Chains A and B, each alone.
Chain A
Amino acid sequence: MAARSVRRATAAILTGALALATAACTNPGSTAGGSGGAKDSAVVGIAYEPETLSPLLGYGKDGNAKIFDGLLAFDADLRLKPALAVKLPRVSADGLTYTYTLRKGVTFSDGVPFTAKDVVYTYRTILDPRTNNPFRTELDALSSVEAVGDGTVVFRLRYPYAPFAERTVHAIAPEHVAAKQDVNTGAFTSRPIGTGPYVLTGWSKGEKLTFTANPAYWGGAPRVKKFTMAIIKDDDVRATRLRAGDLDGAILPPDLAAGFQGDRAKKTWTAKTFDYRTVTLPTHNPVAGDTAVRRALDLTVDRQAMVDKILEGAGKPAYGPVPTDSPWFAKGTERRHDLAGAEKILDEAGWKPGPDGIRVRNGVRAAFPLWYLSGDKLRQDHALAYASDAKKAGIDITTQAGPWEVIEPRMKTDAVLAGGGSPGDPDFDQYLLLKSTLGGDGFNNMARYDNKTVDRALEDGRRTDDLTKRRAAYDTVQRELAKNPGYTFLTHIDHLYVVNDAWDGLSTQTEPHDHGLASGPWWNVETWKPKR
């Protein structure tokens, strides 16, 4: 019977295909398991992919670039320590000149010695308007950089800028390689050469970056010889691959990280961050710009409930850009959750409840729209919780989702659920967020906050090196923000990482809002030691 032979053929083909597939997929424990001696390779899953690996275009601007070093580096507590410079810079009395003495005997991974001219080349190229570097603003204070011989570099500033040394953690590029090609699109942007603890061996865009230890690293050869960063944008896929043993560690949202609680072989690391979520209250909106409404909103919002419900405990209430556990936090500026107090403020200011329970003053309803980035569940949750808290005090907030392209033209009059935060110096966040002259400059000072006392304090804080004076300045800023909160700060969000417990020496740094390449417990992978 012919039909039978066809069927038999089909069966044969199918079995053959299956057998082939299964034969082909016995996974030769490439990275999985981790049994059998010390693990000198690590594979981690991250959600973020850098656009470029060229320091000239902004890669490694916050240090920790793995392939590169900066003149200085941050330790776990974000204190500056020497890197390519042998000691912290000498600062002139007027705060305008920073002098760095360079480490001797450092070479780039291609064997060419590192000298002062590489530093000069890097900073000059970044400042060059023909270089498409979107972070140039961060070096706004820098006026010139010069080499004195091979071993000394002098930076001159346009105005005294106290946190300038923290900007010099910026990765340094090799002049002999990068200067020979187009700075914006040359091969160096994807196949970089640096002085760092790791050498890039491959970058398959959208898939992974692979590194191998630099045996000649001036800080000593790393014990983790092979290091891979797999780029997996989808949270669920990342968790799945971590569970499958394909990854040794990954960044995960709180709900997925919780799924690894029972796994004895893995540890969950919680990184404290400066990553805040806030609501901008535009000065040009008759309701949100009113100080009484702002103060009422500050009291009616239940921050602790947001931390418990939205962040599943992985975070803390925020009262300003400075996290409550930072040494820069002004004690006593915490706001209690106090609905009665909020109602009292509104009553005294003449906002009286109307027939529908929403307050009215001089014919103006206490209502305004609140935008959040569509697709960002965390922001959506925060926005909805905020609106429902506000409703209790008689303020009607309509939440709306949209992409930045839609939100941006409305920022002047509509509230936005924004995020941000950079660790380190308080100037980094606060100047851009609160300085009145930056109102409406790109995404800086979205609320167009305008407070003369704050403006003055911000300038004082950045122009002196005296710690007591600086502390007083930023205390003033935070107290003013409590009196006239142009933003309602809601939470600071922890970042969670789940990692195989196969190494010693893990820790986390305080992290910024942006997930950089080196955020997470692998910020210091070069000093990890395999467990026996």
Chain B
Amino acid sequence: MSRRLPWGAMARMTGRRALAAVPVLLGVTLAVFAVAEASPFDPVKAYAGTAGLTASQENLDQLRANLGADLPLLTRWWEWLTSALTGDLGDSAVMRRPVAEVIGERLGWSVLLAATAFAVALVLGTLLGVLAGRRRGGLLDRAVSSAAYTLEAAPAFWLGLLAIWFFALKLGALPAGGLTDTGSDTVTAGQVARHLVLPALVLGLSQLPWFFLYVRQGVGDALDEDPVRGARARGLRERTVLTGHALRSGMLPMLTLVGSRVPELITGALLVETVFSWPGIAAATVTAATSVDFPLLAALTVLATAAVLLGNLLSDLLYGLADPRVGFDG
């Protein structure tokens, strides 16, 4: 059963979304500047750190002028925007480096972590969801469902510490943190893979319950529908019934979930990266926010917003593919 993909419709929807994203992103960056401006945090104090506690007022004023923190909000935003559009993202005060370098260095590691975690959540969630949905009320269903509800309530931070305690401390099987072995100064694929297991597993598990519960619900409901019951009655094989009928309609709600979990994934990554000393973008976001590092904060916010918008687009595209009735109108 092969359908030609409706490329044209999909491209049109993507284009429309891209156009709509422009004002959103502009608004978001302006909002970031405005909120940061209104926050009680002071970029100069943040830059100086502990030195700010003994620096003279003259020294602090000089820093303020150097960092451009004394300019009006709109001026700063406009300057940032115009140079960002020409490809210059400015300098991060708190990292003492160009923003492009900071992001370039960290983004890859965060994407790797988030993608792996997402894959874990998606695959495990679907698998367990189908199994539980087939026999709702069965032993497996009851066990996994209660575990899922528990996980939903467990903060990622706590899960991380638990994982470190169990896998690193009790079993000594997995490294407790970092990107590579603590004593090594080269990055090798093998080391990264080994260090990725725990944070990705924890982040994946923290996202798992939603996928599992959606799939379970979807598959369970689909199996109760007339067409499926009819198919079963006609003696079709269980596997055909499951994959051909139940799974397809049962997956629908989950596809929308894929996109809408992106913000959750970003916040989850924040905590997990912190616990596991993972050198990703999330840790930098916290630093940028609390130190009112405008250029870095704005760039990271644009990234996060773009990720959310892309997530939504992805889930709408998938939904349209899976259910032709929905179409690609966005």
Contacts and interface: CB of A to CB of B under 8 A. Distances in A.
Contacts of B183: 30-31, 41, 43, 226, 228
Nearest to A5: B239
A246 B49 CA distance: 30
Given A207-B278, A240-B165, A405-B42, A230 B178 contact: yes
Contacts of A54: 96
A30 B55 contact: no
A207 B47 contact: no
B257 interface: no
A96 interface: no
A405 B40 CA distance: 6
Interface string B63-98: 100110000000000000000000000011111111
Interface stretch (A19-27, A334-342, A361-369, A389-397): A19-27
Contacts of A184: 66, 91, 96
A80 interface: no
B222 to A, nearest CB: 16
Interface stretch (B5-13, B14-22, B168-176, B209-217): B168-176
Among B92, B181, B182, the one with the most A-chain Cβ atoms within 10 Å of its Cβ is B182
A132 interface: yes
Contacts of A130: 66
Given A207-B179, A234-B275, A442 B96 contact: no
A439 B183 CA distance: 47
A495 to B, nearest CB: 15
A112 interface: no
Contacts of B47: 132, 134
A206 B55 contact: no
Q: Label chain B's interface by main secondary structure.
A: helix
A228 B185 contact: yes
A212 B239 CA distance: 60
B105 A205 contact: yes
A264 to B, nearest CB: 19
Contact of B237 (A2, A31, A135, A514): A2
A10 B127 contact: yes
A54 B96 CA distance: 10
Interface residues of A, number: 73
Interface string A132-159: 1011111010000000000000000000
B96 A52 contact: yes
Contact of A243 (B63, B169, B175): B169
B115 interface: no
B55 A244 contact: no
Contacts of A443: 52-54
A236 B194 contact: no
B41 A405 contact: yes
A5 B279 CA distance: 42
Nearest to B173: A25
A532 interface: no
A58 B182 contact: no
A76 interface: no
B54 A10 contact: no
Contacts of A31: 181-183
B181 to A, nearest CB: 4
A140 B56 contact: yes
Given A51-B96, A57-B96, A129 B62 contact: yes
A190 interface: yes
Contacts of B95: 51, 205
A207 B131 contact: no
Interface in A120-137: 129-130, 132, 134-137
A151 to B, nearest CB: 32
Interface in A217-241: 226, 228, 230-234, 236-237, 240-241
Contacts of A24: 190, 193-194, 197
A41 B239 CA distance: 57
Nearest to A45: B182
Interface string A16-54: 000001101111001100000000010100000001101
Contact of A442 (B60, B67, B164): B60
A21 B173 CA distance: 9
A343 to B, nearest CB: 35
A25 B277 contact: no
Interface of B: 40-42, 45, 47-57, 59-60, 62-63, 66-67, 91-98, 105-106, 127, 130-131, 134, 161, 164-165, 167-169, 172-179, 181-185, 190, 193-194, 197, 237-239, 242, 274-275, 277-279, 283-284
Given A140-B56, A208-B182, A444-B54, 19 more contacts: A10-B127, A13-B127, A21-B174, A25-B173, A31-B183, A43-B182, A52-B96, A58-B51, A134-B48, A135-B55, A137-B56, A189-B97, A205-B95, A205-B279, A206-B277, A237-B176, A240-B165, A405-B41, A514-B50
List 6 A-B pairs, minimum CB-CB distance, nearest first: A134-B48, A31-B183, A134-B51, A405-B40, A210-B185, A30-B181
